[in-house]
Amino acid sequence: MAIAGKHANLHAASAVFTDYRTGKAKNTIRRQDSDLGLFAQYLKETGLPVGDFAEDPKAWQGITWGLVEGFVKWQLLKGYAVDSVNVRLSTIKTYAKLALQAGALDVPEYAMLRTVQGYSPKEGKRIDETRKAGGLNTRKGAKKAHAVIFTEEQAVQLMAQGETPKGRRDTFMLCLMLEHGLRVSEIAALQVHNFDIHNQRMTFYREKVSKEQTHRLTERTLEAVQEYFKIAPNEGTVWRRGAHKGKTDLTMQGLTVRAINKRVELLGR
């Protein structure tokens, strides 16, 4: 019985990271990968070897509470928002727990690692005041403190991006955001088959509620779809991108969440 139990533990340990990540939404995994990537960057700057913290339990061997505490302080010095620091600390603790289950971290070290604390709203406010007084940025990597509100006239102007291939694509993209409320990740995931122009409908997967939704295209979005689909791919992802920066032609297929964010930020200036 003891031998059988040991074998069961070894089997479960080998799959603990995969099992955890399989059950999470794409946006969650994307955000966690970014958090772990920044942790790896911090370790590299301190001269320590770095492994695959997202999928390899062995990468967590040698990770101590002191390194995690140092990561928290390093982010503050780099100007990252306190909320972002707290989220990344939560990600570190989550994966450290997986590493514990996989046998890569021992119980005493994990217990010490858990003692590393984030910051309360009051503490975060004081930290920001101190950093501002010292001339440090306090919003790096965080969402804006307030939502940007467009008037209807401004939204209409923003959705009129011209007749070039890139302009047609951007108009289409902004219509999906402003007229239908799609998130950037939902926009990036759109496929050609998600659009039924004849019936003026669009289906897409709403990750937050884990459901597929159908929208009737607004008049402005329908016009944008019809224009963009003249140059859109015939199958697969609906998006095209330029091969050369500054050019208006679109020769490559696909757009990442990061690319869409950067494009929308540029258009909104």
pLDDT digits over 170-194, tens only? 889 888 888 888 888 888 899 999 9
Task: Specify the higher pLDDT residue, 54 or 2.
Answer: 54
Q: How far apart are CA 119 and CA 126, in angstroms?
A: 10
Q: Determine phi and psi for 113, rounding to 5 degrees.
A: -60, -35
208-215 long-range Cβ contacts below 8 angstroms, 24+ apart? 208/183, 210/25, 215/180
Q: How far apart are CA 205 and CA 114, in angstroms?
A: 36
Identify the helix (H) or strand (E) that includes residue 119: none
- Chain segment 216-246, per-residue pLDDT in tens: 998 889 998 999 999 888 888 888 887 656 5
Q: How far apart are CA 195 and CA 203, in angstroms?
A: 7
- pLDDT beyond 80 at 67: yes
Q: How many domains does the chain have?
A: 2
Strand runs labelled E in the chain: 195-196, 201-206, 211-216, 240-241, 252-253
User: Reduced to 3 states, what is the DSSP secondary structure of residue 104?
Assistant: coil
118 and 23 share one domain: yes
Q: Determine phi and psi for 212, rounding to 5 degrees.
A: -90, 130
In this prediction, residue 146 carries a pLDDT of 47
Domain-ending residue, one of 133, 161, 191: 133
DSSP-derived letter for residue 217 is P
Residue the block writes with tokens 């958090």? 35
228 and 112 share one domain: no
6 and 129 share one domain: yes
Is residue 38 in a domain?
Answer: yes
Q: How far apart are CA 98 and CA 103, in angstroms?
A: 9
73 CB-near residues (< 8 Å, 6+ apart)? none
The model's pTM: 0.54
Q: How far apart are CA 227 and CA 232, in angstroms?
A: 9
Q: Which of 219, 215, 220 is closest to 194 using CA atoms? A: 215
Domain-ending residue, one of 98, 133, 168: 133
| Structural domain span for residue 199 | 152-267
Mean pLDDT of 130-155: 64
User: Reduced to 3 states, what is the DSSP secondary structure of residue 196?
Assistant: strand
Is residue 146 in a domain?
Answer: no
DSSP-derived letter for residue 112 is H
**Is the CB of residue 252 less than 8 Å from the CB of residue 240?**
yes
Residue 226, both tokens? 């019809």
Residue 268, both tokens? 């909104």
110 and 196 share one domain: no
pLDDT band at 155 (very low <50, low <70, confident <90, very high): low
116 and 232 share one domain: no
Is residue 141 in a domain?
Answer: no
- pLDDT beyond 70 at 166: yes
Q: How far apart are CA 135 and CA 131, in angstroms?
A: 6
**What are the Cα distances from residue 213, in Å, to 118, 194, 208, 269?**
37, 10, 12, 31
Mean pLDDT of 6-30: 72
161 and 198 share one domain: yes
For 60, half-sphere exposure in the C-beta direction (CA atoms, 13 angstrom radius) is: 28
